[in-house]
């Protein structure tokens, strides 16, 4: 008996949940005066909470979970004993429109298993986006997963209709990918990323034409699975740094490995701690927004692994006590960014506030929620921290609340 649309949705939405790279910040705002339905803000649509507290959402599904590949880490792999389903292109289009009109979603994240070939799958993904944009004037957010090895022409067409493109590298080393996904090619994945970067760069170049070429305005992203292979955190972040530098990625997403309902015998049978995933995200932020070098982040590790009890900036600060305390009334921005408990926004507020007078510790406390961690690493007009030995200081800071906060 053929599956109903609801049954397909149940199967293919569940299969899509393992892809972490669906966050979609960075989309461009489309002019609603041109007509059509759906809209996005300048910050894009995220599967998360926005700064003003709103929770925005997108439809996240696979076109199909049939796949010719047998990647050990994938629930949709060829040898997996899961229920299979496949959406028709028109079903995805109608589902997206119906859910948008019911105010359930604000955009679409569409990925797929490879049912027949790379080109056939990529062509169907592009058709969904093209029909939404051209036939229904859909102005909402679209994130398409691109297929390694697909024709460059199809990737180029995908970028015309999608806000963001992504191609998952999955594992941090070529050796790991060959072990767990021997049918996949690192070369094809990197070629696909390079082609997408070239198209994005070309679209961003100044032009005299009345209408500027648009190509994936929210950039491209990728995902790495954490804990499926034996790679340590130093190797994972090293791979990420190389991807950022080589392909100008907007984001690298980290997905803690969790044995699904049909685990491969080649993989661990215990889940990777979510806290490890979180520490990798924090380290990623240090590299991209806080001015840290890869070697500095790795220097704060023990045997190539991040300390799960401390955020990585705090771990680095404890190893570099000679660089502290920092004077909040005199230090430059790059030095303040290295103070545990101070984020980029709080540092900018501190710099703006000190133009009006010297800051006291209470003033700093009003500008950051991380004052409990920051106070031992800064000097204010009325405050100089007591000298504590490393063991006592670490013990006190580990007991600080909000260890899941970014910094």
- pLDDT tens, position by position, 147-200: 999 999 999 999 999 999 999 999 999 999 999 999 999 999 999 999 999 999
pLDDT band at 374 (very low <50, low <70, confident <90, very high): very high
Contacts of 183 (CB under 8 A, 6+ apart): 68, 69, 70, 71
Q: Please tell me the distance from the alpha carbon of residue 298 to that of residue 233, in angstroms, as a whole number.
A: 8
pLDDT band at 276 (very low <50, low <70, confident <90, very high): very high
Give pLDDT, residue 263: 64
Checking if the pLDDT of 47 tops 80, the result is no
Checking if the pLDDT of 401 tops 70, the result is no
Q: Please tell me the distance from the alpha carbon of residue 171 to that of residue 180, in angstroms, as a whole number.
A: 9
Tell me the CA distances in angstroms from 393 to 319, 385, 396, 402, one per residue in order. Answer: 12, 11, 5, 17
pLDDT band at 266 (very low <50, low <70, confident <90, very high): confident
CATH topology of domain 5-272: TIM Barrel (3.20.20)
For residues 112-138, average pLDDT = 96
For 265, phi then psi, to 5°, come to: -65, -20
Give pLDDT, residue 151: 95
Work out the number of other CB atoms within 10 angstroms of the CB of residue 254: 25
Of 64-68, 206-210, 298-302, 338-342, the least confident: 206-210
- Please state the domain extents for the chain: 5-272, 312-398
For residues 320-349, average pLDDT = 96
Beta-bridge mates of residue 141: 107
Give pLDDT, residue 171: 94
Checking if the pLDDT of 261 tops 80, the result is no
Tell me the CA distances in angstroms from 357 to 76, 209, 295, 375, 384, one per residue in order. Answer: 60, 50, 37, 19, 18
Give pLDDT, residue 395: 76
Quote the tokens at residue 94.
């109608």
For residues 113-124, average pLDDT = 95
pLDDT band at 24 (very low <50, low <70, confident <90, very high): very low
The answer to whether 55 and 65 have CB atoms below 8 angstroms apart is no
pLDDT band at 404 (very low <50, low <70, confident <90, very high): very low
On average, the pLDDT of the chain sits at 87
pLDDT band at 207 (very low <50, low <70, confident <90, very high): low
Checking if the pLDDT of 240 tops 80, the result is yes
Q: Where in 76-140 does DSSP place strands (E)?
A: 107-111
- Please compute, for residue 145, the number of CA atoms within 13 A of its CA located in the half-sphere on the CB side: 25
Give pLDDT, residue 265: 80
pLDDT band at 389 (very low <50, low <70, confident <90, very high): confident
């Amino acid at each position: 008996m053929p599956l109903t649309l609801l049954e397909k949705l149940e199967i293919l939405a569940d299969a899509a949940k393992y892809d972490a790279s669906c966050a979609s910040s960075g989309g461009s705002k489309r002019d609603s005066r041109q007509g059509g339905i759906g809209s996005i803000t300048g910050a894009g649509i995220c599967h998360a909470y926005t700064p003003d507290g709103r929770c925005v959402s997108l439809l996240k599904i696979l076109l199909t979970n049939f796949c010719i590949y047998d990647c050990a880490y994938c629930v949709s792999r060829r040898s997996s004993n899961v229920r299979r389903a496949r959406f028709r292109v028109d079903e995805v289009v109608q589902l997206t429109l119906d859910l948008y009109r019911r105010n359930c979603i604000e955009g679409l994240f569409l990925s797929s298993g490879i049912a027949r070939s790379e080109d056939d799958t990529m062509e169907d993904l592009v058709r969904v986006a093209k029909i939404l944009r051209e036939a229904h004037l859909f102005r909402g957010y679209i994130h398409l997963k691109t297929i390694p090895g697909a024709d460059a022409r199809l990737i180029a067409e995908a970028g015309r209709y999608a806000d963001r493109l992504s191609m998952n590298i999955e594992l941090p080393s070529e050796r790991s990918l060959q072990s767990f996904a021997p049918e996949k090619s690192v070369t094809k994945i990197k070629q696909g990323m390079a082609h997408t970067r070239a198209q994005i760069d070309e679209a961003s170049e100044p032009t005299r034409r009345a209408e500027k070429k648009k190509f994936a305005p929210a950039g491209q992203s990728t995902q790495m699975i954490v804990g499926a292979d034996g790679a340590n955190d130093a190797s994972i972040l090293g791979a990420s740094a190389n991807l950022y530098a080589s392909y100008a990625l907007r984001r690298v997403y980290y997905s803690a490995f969790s044995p699904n309902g049909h685990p491969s015998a080649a993989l661990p049978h215990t889940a990777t701690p979510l806290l490890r995933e979180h520490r990798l995200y924090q380290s990623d932020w240090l590299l991209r927004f806080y001015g840290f070098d890869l070697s500095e982040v790795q220097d704060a590790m023990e045997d190539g692994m991040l300390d799960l009890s401390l955020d990585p900036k705090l771990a680095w600060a404890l190893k570099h006590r000679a660089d502290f305390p920092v004077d909040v009334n005199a230090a430059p921005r790059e030095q303040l960014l290295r103070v545990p408990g101070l984020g980029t926004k709080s540092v900018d507020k501190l710099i703006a506030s000190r133009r009006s007078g010297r800051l006291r510790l209470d003033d700093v406390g009003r500008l950051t929620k991380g004052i409990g961690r920051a106070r031992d690493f800064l000097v204010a007009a009325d405050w100089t921290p007591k000298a504590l030995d490393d063991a006592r200081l670490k013990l006190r800071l580990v007991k600080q609340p909000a260890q899941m906060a970014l910094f």
